[in-house]
Each structure stands twice: as C-alpha cells, then as structure tokens.
Amino acid sequence: MLIIGAAFLVYLNSFGGPFIFDDIPSIRDNAKIRCLWPLTVPLNPPPKGAVQARPMVNLSFAINYALGGLEPWGYHVGNSFLHILASLVLYGVVRRTLITEPLRAKYGPYATKLALAVVTIWSVHPLITVSVAYISSRTELLMGLFYLLTLYCAIRRAESPRGAGWTAASIAACALGMASKEVMVSAPLAVLLYDRIFLSRSFGEALRRRRALYIGLATTWLLLVPLSAGTTFSVRRGGGAPFTVWEYGLTESEVIVHYLRLGFWPSPLVLDYYDWPVARFSLALVACLATVLGLLAATARQLLSGRSTGFLGACFFLILAPTSSFLPLLGEVAAERRMYLPLAAVVALVVIVVWRALEAVPRRWVPTVCAVLAVAIFGSASVRRNEQYGSALAIWSDTASKRPYNPRALTEVGTALVALGRFSEATVYYEQATRVMPGYTMAYSNWGIALAMQGRLAEAVGKLSEAVRRNPASASFHYNLGLALAKQGHVDQAVLEYQLALQIDPSFNKARDGLAGLSQPPRG
C-alpha cells in the first residue's frame, strides 16, 4: 500500500495535463485506436508517432479510447496505473532476489524493508516523471512492466516444482514486451544472467535446467523482425547528415554520464534533447568515455566473480544498449524516458550500499529515516516537475529555457502561443528556431500555418514553400502549402501539392479530402 500510495500521490497532479507533441499523432489523430474489434485494427498501428511498430502500445491507447474517448486525463490515469503495476512487480523481483541462496544470509532478514525502500524511491524519482506524465512515453512503461514480469515469472519458475505455468507466463510477457518497444530485446539475456548469478552454478546448468524457458524467450526475438520492417528511425545531426557509428558511440558516453548524474541530482530535467551536439574531442569527453568504460569493466569483473552488483550493472547497460551504444537507429541522441527501467538498477545499488554503510550505526532507525527523506525529497521534486506538464506552453517554455538552442523546443513554444492567439510572440520563437538551425523545416511549416491563420496568405505561402523546398519528402508540408494556395485561389497549384502529398503518403486522407473539395463545383 505504501508503494501504491506514494506513486499515486506523486502523479495525481499530472492527470490534468493535455496531449503534447507525439501525443497528437499517436492518440488524437490516430484512427487505429478508435475501435477495439477486430483486434487487427489496433494491433496494426500507423507508421508515425510513438506507436510506430509497437502494437501493444497502440492497443493500450485503444482501450483508453474505448473507456473515455479523447479525454487526456484517462490516458494519464492509464500511465499511472501501469507505473504502479511495474512498481509492484519490481518489489517482488527485489524481495525475492534478496532471499535467494547467495544473498539470504546477508539480506534475508531485511529483504522486505530493503525492497520497499528501493521501489518507493524509484517510483517517485523525478527522472522518470517524463515516462509517466508524458502520455506517449507509455512505450517505456509497457516495456518496463513486461521486462519486469518476464524476470519475475522466470524467478518463480525456478522456485516452483511445477514451473510450466510460470514458464509460459514469462515467455508471454517477453513477447508482449517485444511488441511494446524494441529495447525489450535484452530481456532474455537479463533472465539468463540472473539465473547464473542467483540460481545456478553455471550458464550450462541454467540452460539445461530451464531449457524450455530459454528456447521460448529466444523465440520472442523473431517478433522484432516483422515489427521493425519498414520503420524509418535514424539519428541525424541537427536534421542533416546521419551520425556515424563512431560519432554516436562517443556521444552516447556523454549521454550516459548525463543520465547517471540526473539519477543522483535530477536537475535540470528536460523534455527534449533535439539539440544534443555531436561529441568533439575534449577533456570532458575523455572523462565521460573513461567513466563509461570503467563502469563496463567493473560490471564485467563483478559478473565474472558471480556477484550481485554485476547483475545490476549488466541490467543498466543491457537496457540502454539498443539506444545508447554504437547504433544510431532510434531517432534521438538522448531522452530521459530511456532511464525508466535502468534507474531501478542504480537505485537498488545505492540503497544497498547506503544500508551496508549504516549497518554499524547503533540506532537502527537511521536507515529508515534516510529512506523516508529520500522519498520525500524526490517525491516533492516530482510533483513540481509534473506541474510543468500542465500545458504545452509550460513544458515547452521550460525546455526552451534550459536548451535555448533547441529548434524543436522553440518551434513548439511558438505553436503553443499560436493556439492561444498570441501570434506576435509566436513569431519571435519561430524566427529564433530558424536562426539557430536553418535546416529545421518544421519551424517554417508551423510559422506558415500561423501566418495563414492570420490571413497573411502571401507570407504563409512563402514560409510553407521554404519548408517544402528544404524537405520535399514531407506529405504534411505539401498538404499545408496546398491548403494555403487553395485559400489564395491558386487551384491548379493547390491540386499539384495535394497530389504530391498523396504520392508520398497514399493514406493521407486530409490531402484526399482537399482534392475532393477543389473538384466540387462552386455553390451558386
């Protein structure tokens, strides 16, 4: 009840937040969540937004839609519910780990209290507010929940003399996780490492005793093949040339150190790191690289020695590996939501180390007081952070103030101001966005839309044409330009832009509707 109560109270003030950014294509404009049956509809998400290639996330949004339509608070409640479930499963994993044979003598008598401290601190930590308060980050919540369930069911399988049910449950959870986010790819490896460290004397013994489990878990990797086919994820430098493998790996060493710092001192927290720069040779880069390599070496040494700390380090790096290693495949250099599950390993390690350090203190209530203070400090910081998700203007203004060279944040501030009718203020942000990154085409497009809303059609066409010139592969840019041209009375040019939009994206119904509207005879 303590875990449930703490997480619920911390995220209660996030329920009033609106849809922002990726929530728009993933939820508001997503026709694939408007029905639950046949299941083939929600399980076939559109190729855009956070739901791309993630059918379980799309299905969860469809369930939300069935229960409450497009009311944002229902989706926020759903995120909080999933986070609480993940917290309860994590509690089960931590407590059962502390009473395994290698750890029972040292931690068994305190397993419940230690697990409670680890999970409560993690569940209210400010670094994971983006995963709960930002609805589209449900990808992390579902993946984290299924990752933990995969591990928990595998642990119960080892404890049970009749483990067929737990084996099936672990495999099913792993499959559902694969259908939630690609990062789940490391889950079978994490289970095998856990088995070796806590349950078996060797990898061979683990594989021999639980062969069906590992065959089933390995089979779930096959799900990623059809799910990932056709995705267009990539990481580009300021919207330009893609990162090389070497550049990305060096840059991620800085990102990982940044994540770790936020784990201990969660400030400043930022929604979007679109402007994170390519790593350049410097003493800071050398220090970050040395830190990451040192932690990897320490993790390997601990694993070879069969120590539990090695498993925590391995989980941290395994979960981050698909996004924060050498493969620039997933669209962003840095994102705080990626620390949702890895943070649990960090918190567990810190709690155990602090508890061991305080063992010699004669007053046994001191560790409890320390845990309560940590929960109170982190929880209050999370409540304050959730307030910034209360409006699109608030969260993007906060992001722009912390990352003033982030063109996406500047553009989104402008768009939020346009929604409030504050056009002159929005222009300042659009101008700034195009100045800090001339290649950021969304700024030109949104600026053009804002000008069209004011009836300044000639200026609007100019900005929208610039967006199309810089990114002719965008269907929405062609559509927006066509819309402005149609309002100007340039029907032939508008028809051409709508047709180009449909050539790029045949499912773009707005462009099809625009064409149909232009083909209708004028009403007399």
What digits encode the pLDDT tens for the residues 316-363?
A: 999 999 999 877 666 789 999 999 999 999 999 999 999 998 877 777
Of 72-86, 130-144, 355-369, 430-444, minimum mean pLDDT range: 355-369
pLDDT score for 163: 82
pLDDT at 147 over 60: yes
pLDDT at 522 over 60: no
Bond prior to 266 in cis (omega within 30° of 0)? no
Model confidence at 396, pLDDT cuts 50, 70, 90, reads: very high
Helix pair 187-194, 138-159: axis angle to 10 deg: 30
Model confidence at 49, pLDDT cuts 50, 70, 90, reads: confident
Looking at domain 392-519, its CATH class is mainly alpha
Residues 6+ apart with CB under 8 A from 163: 156, 157, 210, 213
Where do the domains of the chain lie? 2-387, 392-519
Question: Cα separation of 9 and 55, whole Å?
Answer: 30
pLDDT score for 237: 59
pLDDT score for 327: 73
More confident residue, 363 or 390: 390
Whole-number percent of the chain with pLDDT over 70: 96
pLDDT at 310 over 60: yes
Cα dihedral 338, 341, 347, 352 sign:
negative
pLDDT score for 238: 58
Q: What is the mean pLDDT of residues 277-292?
A: 95
pLDDT score for 332: 86
| Tokens, residue 67 | 């229960």
pLDDT at 510 over 50: yes
pLDDT at 399 over 60: yes
pLDDT score for 330: 63
Which residues share a beta bridge with 236? 242
pLDDT score for 160: 83
pLDDT at 448 over 90: yes
Whole-number percent of the chain with pLDDT over 90: 85
Tokens 């789940």 correspond to what residue?
A: 184
Which of 135, 119, 122, 140 minimizes the C-alpha distance to 15? 135
| Tokens, residue 254 | 């800085």
pLDDT at 242 over 80: no
Alpha helix segments (H runs only) across 99-232? 101-107, 111-124, 129-133, 138-159, 164-178, 187-194, 203-209, 211-219, 224-228
pLDDT at 239 over 70: no
- Asked if 367 and 375 touch (Cβ cutoff 8 Å), the reply is no
- What integer best gives the mean pLDDT of the chain? 93
Q: What is the mean pLDDT of residues 197-202?
A: 94
- Asked if 464 and 480 touch (Cβ cutoff 8 Å), the reply is yes
pLDDT score for 231: 63
pLDDT at 187 over 70: yes
pLDDT score for 523: 46
pLDDT score for 507: 82
Q: What is the mean pLDDT of residues 184-190?
A: 97
Model confidence at 244, pLDDT cuts 50, 70, 90, reads: confident
Q: What is the mean pLDDT of residues 3-28?
A: 96
What digits encode the pLDDT tens for the residues 99-109?
A: 999 999 999 99
